[in-house]
Chains A and B, each alone.
Chain A
Amino acid sequence: MGITEGTRAAEAAGTPYTVSPAAARRRTLLRAGSYAVPAAVVLLAVLTADRARLADQFARLSLAGTMFPEVLTVALLNTVLYTAGGFVFGLVLGLGIAVMRLSGVRLYRWLAMAYIEVFRGLPALLVFVFVGVGVPLAFPGVHFPGGVYGQVTFALGLVAAAYMAETIRAGIEAVPRGQWEAARSLGMSHGRALVSVVAPQAFRIVVPPLTNELILLFKDSSLVLFLGVTLQDRELTKFGQDMASASANTTPIVVAGCCYLLITVPLSVLVRRLERRNHRMR
């Protein structure tokens, strides 16, 4: 008896799934406002700005033209090389630290934790200054293998390893315990279970966050300008800065910025794809 009466009473009162007309009107107004306000701001900016001066300052095409091809063949190439070096070095180091972090030996766990805390807690710039200025002072006459390239790889990698170690550890821990147990009860050793069963599953989990880390490294590679580099070692930021001061114009910085986005935007699209794919596989 309770069911039908109850349902009818609920209909009369308006079920929680429909809204009153007044609430619906309010919602429409809010939606219209959320488009109208930003449109008005943009229109105002366009109408009041000195467009000719802005175009000359930020997008002087003749000046942008003189940056090519060096902005690609030297600056962008160096940015990519520095980033790749830092990423690979950081990945190897981070993998080692992650394994130490999960080790049964307390000393290893402690060392890994200390490393992570120190390098996550320091500004990347300080690490660059330490590698570029501090190390040569401490070991006079010793040269970094690979020159500036070696220094950047080392400094970027030291910082990246701390973040990557935490990402990799989280990935390994996200693999269900039952996978370890199934592998071990088939007679696999701890290491064999890690390599053949857990790591391949963890890999899929950590690829998106590691790609994010790669994007961060792209931007951090600009810190190399504090190491005092030669013309041939300049990357995008330093290159743009030098040209901007020489020409007293902002255009080179805008061009350098566009070059970063050329790399980072496709990468973050890729991250989103990978994340969606992982989500579907759950």
Chain B
Amino acid sequence: MRTHPGSPPEPSTPPPAIEIRGLCKSFGNKDVLSSIDLDVAPGEVVCVIGPSGSGKSTLLRCVSLLETPSAGRVVVNGTEVTAAEVDIDRVRRGVGMVFQHFNLFPHLTVLGNLTLAQRRVLRRGRKEAERVARENLDRVGLADRADDYPARLSGGQQQRVAIARALSMEPRLMLFDEPTSALDPELVGEVLAVMRRLALDGMTMMVVTHEMGFARQVADRVVFMDAGTVIEEGGPAQVLEAPRHERTRRFLSRLLDPLTVPGPARTRQEPAPAR
């Protein structure tokens, strides 16, 4: 789909947007991430897939410092965010984050959601902030909903507002944590369309997702994680069509045909026994 001037990667490529080295994270004595190494090049779209509990969210949250890594190095846009003296708030400004449950501010209108951080963090004037906000609302196809409160919007619209809110800070990098998992199936498409356009515009993106169609079409690279480690990574065709590892194969086959897994999903359809 997309062509990169620098691909296939050569030694002379620009410094990565994200550089992760030996990243470990544990909660109490539970190791959630064990020694992750991962680079994301500027303009690259990396999709992270893997079973529930494999540490995908934790990995993203370590990049945006919503979690403090237990060990290892994370460098974002050339700044080592794991260094002791780093200004976390300044680093975060350059990193947009989109959550599974949108996390819009319910007490503010759509426009208020998009202008708050611009005004308070970037110190933009009202006019300037609103101009940027409307531009980004237009980008996600919601220019006419600026004055609505989030509760009035559908899930898909709320997620698009959340994307526009992150874009209003003009980040160099966007992180998405299962952005369509909380949506009704018919609303997934509109959000993925916005993300695809963003990718085509050259945004650097790291996307945790279960949408294999999106990963196949949009990702430059797919990373499969299990039990806190990267099992394999490569082009979408390679990882999704011809996985090298048994665990990847098992995960993908379960995803494509969920009924092969014994579980409560089938028994639920049987009629309840009469009393």
Which residues of A line the B interface, CB within 8 A? Answer: 2-3, 5-7, 9-10, 13, 176, 178-179, 181-189, 192, 196-197, 200-201, 204, 281
Contact = CB atoms under 8 A, between A and B. Distances in A.
Counting contact residues on chain B (CB < 8 A from A), the size range is 20 to 34
15 contacts: A6-B273, A9-B274, A10-B274, A178-B99, A181-B97, A181-B99, A182-B104, A184-B66, A185-B97, A187-B117, A188-B89, A188-B117, A192-B121, A201-B106, A201-B107
A18 to B, nearest CB: 14
Contact of A2 (B64, B95, B105, B274): B274
Interface of B: 64, 66, 89-90, 92-93, 95-97, 99, 101, 103-107, 116-117, 120-122, 151, 162, 165-166, 169, 271-275
Given A5-B274, A6-B273, A182 B89 contact: no
Given A186-B121, A188-B89, A201-B106, A196 B99 contact: no
Contacts of A179: 103, 105
B89 A178 contact: no
Nearest to B112: A196
Given A3-B271, A10-B274, A184-B66, A178 B101 contact: yes
Contacts of B66: 181, 184-185
Given A181-B66, A281-B151, 13 more contacts: A2-B271, A2-B274, A5-B274, A178-B99, A182-B103, A182-B104, A184-B66, A184-B92, A185-B64, A186-B166, A188-B117, A192-B121, A204-B107
A178 B103 contact: yes
A192 B93 CA distance: 14
Contacts of A196: 116, 120
Contacts of B165: 186
Nearest to B162: A182
A197 B93 CA distance: 17
Contact of A181 (B103, B120, B273): B103
Nearest to B94: A187
A197 B92 contact: no
A204 B66 CA distance: 27
A196 B115 CA distance: 12
A176 B106 CA distance: 11
